[in-house]
Amino acid sequence: MLSIVLFVAAIAVYAAKAGRNIWWFSVILFILGLYIVLNVTFVASNYFTGEGINDAVLYTLTSSMTGAGIGKYILPGVGVFVALVAVFGALTWVLRRRKGYPHHFGYSLLALVLALASVDASPAFRQVAELVKSQTRSGDSDFAVYYQVPQGGIKNPKLNLVYIYGESLERTYFEPELFPDLAPELTGLKNEGIDFSHTMQLPGTDYTIAGMVASQCGIPLFAPFEGNSSASLSSFFPKNICLGDILKASGYENYFMQGADLRFAGKDVFLQSHGFDHMYGAQELKTMVADPQYRNNWGFYDDTVLDEVFEKYVELSKANKRFSLFTLTVDTHHPDGFISKTCKRRSYNFDGKENQSFSAVACSQEHIAALIEKIKASPYFKNTVIVVSSDHLAMNNTAYKYLNQHERNNLFFILRGDKPQADLVPVKRSTLDNGATVLDVLGGDNYLGLGRSSLSGQSIASVFLNVKEKVMEWKPDVIDLWNFPKTITQYEIDQKKNTFSYSGAHFKMPLLLRILDKKIEPLPESEYSAPLRYQLADFKENDKFIWVDRCFKMARLWDSKLALSTGLCVAQGQMGGQPTVRLIEQQQEQHAVEFARQDIDKTRFKKNVALLKVDENAIRYQADSFIFNVPGAPDNVKEFSGISRPEEWGRWSNANLAPEVKIEYAEPLPEKFDLVITAKAFGPNIGQPVPVKVGNQQQTLTLGEELSTTTLHFDNPERSHLLEIIPPQPKLSNEGNILGHEPRKLGIGMEDIKVVPAT
């Protein structure tokens, strides 16, 4: 309330008393706009987390968002955007009310102080400031005393492992006295096994990937967010030994299966980094499932996925392999979950009305229970351990207010096929202990990172009176485990693995490094970050950098010989100097890093920045043909339309952008010329005549499914500048599309177009 009062007071003072001054108006508008954006971000984050802006928000925004189920958030998102535009418009109008009056310094200063105070008093600013502060260490740390590295293997492993993560499926749902008959099937199975009833949630373990890291590595997921560096890694906590590493070293084949896209939040990178060689997500399952169209906003429904899990369980068991099989459900995902078509329990009434989140829980637990019953009924169960756990407590869903009325704990129980045991274990513990407990059951150590087996060890949750505060004290120590190096003397490029490595760290390409005196900032190119050339344009003139990317992106600035190359290049230098460009010719190469002393030239710096910021379609290169697998066009083309983005082979026409392909040349086309086109057709356009027009002249082009070269002869007495290609039947398709982007209307695919004057 205080921040709101200060915000309104700042507006009132400036609008009523300050008068006209463009500098003061701009500063006040910026500060008040920052207040609005911060608080909208806070409200939006709270909609997902129930806790405002926390590590979950920062990690998700700086990691891969590929495969995120955004369908249910589109309408609220549009509403927020419209509201923001309206609020900024109204704020601008109010602040300019006295623009005709003389400026008053005192009232302007008072308004500025009030605006700054409103930002400082806002919960959003306090949370962001606390997150930044929490990444730095204050005083000595006892982290090393409690962080323990297990042995790398299990002696004589005898049991296979099935580990089921239930999305947001916390133990609170399984209290019959709180929510009668909500989950009887899975509750019954829980009561047949070893049930750990007090599994608390600690900071850095409160969203899916964080819950997976906590349960498999025994550490919270705290990542360094400056420069979005966690999103660029090709390895995840690279030096930690996690459950998957131990299982693999012990002869297990590790499998992971889920209905959502593996790339979301970097789950694929985490699993690959820690022993999982077999992974199935939305992209992999679509060629395996019976009905690829049967899916929800996040991916395939739980009934589909868990059927595939059982098939894989039987297949691996019959092959007499030692294996672990992990799976993650999705139907209980906030804000209200999804109901699969095969559920018997399709609705659940609470507080006098049907509640979608409870209904999704009732449905999903039914599928999990069915999977467990099938495994128990198989002849292979005697060699199997089944683990069921929530990945984290439920976030802000439609059951959230009812859950918060009670003590909340995560779900974690174990069913042993070799030693059936029904037992309630009420010890105070956390999800950090899950991996160590499983490792203990399988015959390994009883510790894993900060985790301890709840069967034979003592959890840090019972050691420290305020364990949440203690974990936050250890945050800088956990971040250090990412092992981000601070110096670079040489680098190695592996084109087969698509990695750039230096000082023991491995990053995905493309990549931009800002190299400072005591720090290196890795800057990735991801779905939600700017292209690397735009990020480089924000560097200072004397900042050192290394940029690894496709040659044409950098060579047009610093090495014209490589300006049309689609190969891999490394640019190195300073924005105000003369960077060098190196073509990477081998699959693996190593190079030393040396920055020659250069004179910084401000004019050269401004030119480099301007060239980096040129719009892709405005890029021009020297060539005698239109080469479609690089951005821009040859310098004899004035403008073009109806053409999609470059891909490795060329570009598609896209009728969403324009109904036909138009290429307007800067000079009139010759009176007589040959038009040499290398192209292919898509879908219904294959084998159909494609009109090609120059002025009043028209010819037809017939294309197949593969690229082919055709020569058309044109007379151009009018000396027209314009070439038009009109695909007859553009078709909506996701062929070659970027995940999350709208389908394109494809017609023909072009590799090269060349105008050859007739002799």
Is residue 24 pLDDT above 90, yes or no? no
The tens digit of pLDDT for each residue in 713-742 reads 999 999 999 999 999 999 999 888 775 567
| Better-predicted residue by pLDDT, 46 or 517 | 517
What is the arithmetic mean of pLDDT over 692-708?
96
Task: Return the biggest CA–CA distance within the chain.
Answer: 92
Task: Kindly tell me if the per-residue pLDDT of 396 is higher than 50.
Answer: yes
pLDDT band at 402 (very low <50, low <70, confident <90, very high): very high
Sheet holding 499-502, edge to edge: 505-508, 499-502, 490-494, 588-592
pLDDT value at position 734? Answer: 81
Lowest mean pLDDT among 107-121, 190-204, 546-560, 599-613: 107-121
**What is the per-residue burial (b if ≥16 Cβ within 10 Å, else e) of 447-466?**
bbbbbbbbbebebbbeeeee
Rounded mean pLDDT of 495-513? 87
596 versus 384: which is more confidently predicted? 384
Between CA 640 and CA 665 the distance in angstroms is 9
Residue 743 phi/psi, 5-degree rounding, is: -60, 145
Q: Say if residue 228's pLDDT is above 50.
A: no
pLDDT in tens, 743-752: 899 999 999 9
Sequence ranges of the chain with CATH classification 3.40.720.10: 149-480
Residue 312: pLDDT over 60: yes
E-only strand ranges, 98-166: 160-166
CA distances to 64, 231, 522 from 228, in Å? 10, 6, 8
Q: What are phi and psi of 262, to 5 degrees?
A: -65, -25
Distance (Å, whole) CA 571 – CA 592: 13
Mean pLDDT across the stretch 585-590? Answer: 96
Task: Report percent pLDDT > 90 for the chain.
Answer: 66
Taking alpha carbons only, the member of 198, 267, 252, 259 closest to residue 385 is: 252
**Strand ranges (E), 596-696:** 620-621, 626-627, 633-634, 637-641, 651-654, 661-665, 672-681, 689-694
d(CA 335, CA 360): 11
Query: What is the mean pLDDT of the segment spanning 625-652?
Result: 96
Cα 288 from Cα 92, distance rounded (Å) = 55
Instruction: Work out the average pLDDT over 582-588.
Output: 96
Give the helix ranges, DSSP H, for 497-549.
Answer: 532-537
Residues of the chain with CATH 2.60.120.430: 618-757
Rounded Cα distance between 449 and 69, Å, is: 32
Residue 133 three-state SS: helix
Q: What is the mean pLDDT of the chain?
A: 89
Q: Calculate mean pLDDT across residues 413-427.
A: 96
Question: In this structure, which topology does domain 149-480 adopt according to CATH?
Answer: Alkaline Phosphatase, subunit A (3.40.720)
Residue 643 gets which letter from DSSP? Answer: B
> Between 228 and 448, whose confidence is greater?
448
* pLDDT the model gives residue 283: 87
Q: What is the distance between the alpha carbons of residues 265 and 242, in angstroms, rounded to a whole number?
A: 18
Helix (H, G, I), strand (E, B) or coil at 12: helix
Contacts of 376 (CB under 8 A, 6+ apart): 415, 417
Q: Which of 218, 226, 232 shows the shortest CA–CA distance to 266?
A: 232
Task: Tell me if 725 sits within 8 A of 690, measured CB to CB.
Answer: yes
Contact 721, 738 (CB under 8 A): no
Q: Lowest-confidence range among 371-380, 427-436, 475-484? A: 475-484
Q: Which fold has domain 618-757?
A: Jelly Rolls (2.60.120)
Within 10 angstroms of residue 583's Cβ, the number of other Cβ atoms is: 15
* 3-state SS assignment for residue 669: coil
DSSP 274-301: TT--EEE-HHHHTTTSS-TT-B-SSBB-
3-state SS record for 695-749: CCEEEEEECCCCCEEEEEEEECCCCCCEEEECCCCCEEECCCCCCCCCCEEEEEE
Read off the pLDDT of residues 436-448 as tens digits, 9 standing for 90 and up: 999 999 999 999 9
* Mean pLDDT confidence for 396-423: 95
Tokens in use for 44? 């939006």
Residues 416 and 436 sit within 8 Å (Cβ to Cβ):
no
* Model confidence at 683: pLDDT above 80: yes
pTM of this prediction?
A: 0.67
Q: 188 exposed, middle or buried (CB, 10 Å; 0-12, 13-18, 19+)?
A: exposed
Question: How far is it, in rounded angstroms, from Cα 601 to Cα 695?
Answer: 48
